[in-house]
């Protein structure tokens, strides 16, 4: 793990010029420059301390617009990609959102400021437990956590207004489509080859009709299905 940390630190330092005293204000300014204009999303980002969701080794990088490694070989996604994906869902404060891939809980914390309730599933027990601790520290009471395989969905009769998947998959899990309300949106990274992934937005018109939109190239860890 220590070698991975050193390699990652070297890589991101080589590719970007960092200012280590940045904060949420600086991150919001950066996201605005990148084209994020949804004030609700930007306000949520401004409220959530990203340093809470990364290890001490990467705390000084936490307000850079860059992905960072977390435990279990996973990552906390680039803030721009997180903000863009959430913005695409066009959330209302009455919505119920399903998140697949809690990680350390950063994205769920943002969603909690934008919708009525977040249901989030994590397959790694270490990350599941850490996310719950992080959300408790922030006193976020509108998040429900599940430890398990996200491809199976929430396994209840809950229908969701939006679903966001934080891992790449070659084909969208059918159980998740079935748990989405008509008019709801799903956003996820689709894997096309070993090197190519694209962000996909699906709008469910009804049980048989869907609108697909291909957005831009991304890089996510794979969605685990076992």
- What are the catalytic residues? 77
> What does the CA dihedral 3, 5, 10, 13 come to, rounded to 10 degrees?
180
Contact 72, 126 (CB under 8 A): yes
| φ, ψ (nearest 5 deg) of residue 168 | -85, 140
Q: How far is CA 103 from CA 16, 18, 62, 67, 206, in A?
A: 24, 24, 15, 12, 31
Q: Pairing state of beta strands 96-100 and 75-76?
A: unpaired
Single out the residue of 197, 199, 183 nearest to residue 83, CA to CA: 199
Hey, CA dihedral for 113, 52, 131, 70, is it positive or negative? positive
Supply 58's token pair: 């990467």
Residues whose CB is less than 8 angstroms from the CB of residue 201 and which lie 6 or more positions away in sequence, other chains included: 88, 185, 186, 187, 212, 213, 215
């Amino acid at each position: 793990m220590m070698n991975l940390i050193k390699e990652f630190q070297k890589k991101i330092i080589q590719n970007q010029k960092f200012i280590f005293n940045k904060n949420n204000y600086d991150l919001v300014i950066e996201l605005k420059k990148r084209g994020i204009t949804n004030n609700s999303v930007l306000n949520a980002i401004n409220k959530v301390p990203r340093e809470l969701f990364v290890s001490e080794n990467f705390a000084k990088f936490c307000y850079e617009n860059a992905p960072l490694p977390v435990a279990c070989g996973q990552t906390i996604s680039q803030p721009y990609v997180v903000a863009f994906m959430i913005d695409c869902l066009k959330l209302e404060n009455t919505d119920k959102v399903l998140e697949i891939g809690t990680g350390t809980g950063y994205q769920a914390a943002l969603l909690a400021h934008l919708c009525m309730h977040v249901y989030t599933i994590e397959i790694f027990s270490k990350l599941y437990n850490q996310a719950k601790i992080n959300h408790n520290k922030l006193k976020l009471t509108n998040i429900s956590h599940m430890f398990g395989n996200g491809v199976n969905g929430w396994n209840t009769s809950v229908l969701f207004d939006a679903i966001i998947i934080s891992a790449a998959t070659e084909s969208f899990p059918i159980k998740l489509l079935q748990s989405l309300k008509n008019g709801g949106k799903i956003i996820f990274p689709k894997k096309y080859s070993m090197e190519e992934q694209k962000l996909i937005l699906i709008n469910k018109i009804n049980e048989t009709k869907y609108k697909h939109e291909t957005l831009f190239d991304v890089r996510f860890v794979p969605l685990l299905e076992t």
